[in-house]
Amino acid sequence: MIDMRIVVDRGRCTGLGICESMAEDVFEVQGNGSLRVLIEDISPARREEIQAAVDSCPTEALKLVD
């Protein structure tokens, strides 16, 4: 199976942290408000969970790509 990858549009991300609250082992908002992705390659077993966190972004700054 192919892992998926998280892509962040840094121009859109405002560091609200909703994604972090849904998957804190994957996303981390830094002190300066920038988003750090802790695990870029996501296994298919976590797709639904991570997709929910990506979909929660109000600025649509996150994508999950194959």
Nearest Cα residue to 26 out of 11, 1, 44, 5: 5
pTM of the model: 0.89
Percent of the chain with pLDDT over 90: 86
Q: What is the pLDDT of residues 5-34, one digit of tens each?
A: 999 999 999 999 999 999 999 999 999 999
User: Is the pLDDT score of 1 beyond 60?
Assistant: no
Q: Where are the domains of the chain?
A: 4-65
CA pair distance 62, 2, nearest whole angstrom: 19
Determine the CATH number of domain 4-65: 3.30.70.20
pLDDT attached to residue 13: 97
User: Is the pLDDT score of 3 beyond 90?
Assistant: no
CA pair distance 30, 4, nearest whole angstrom: 23
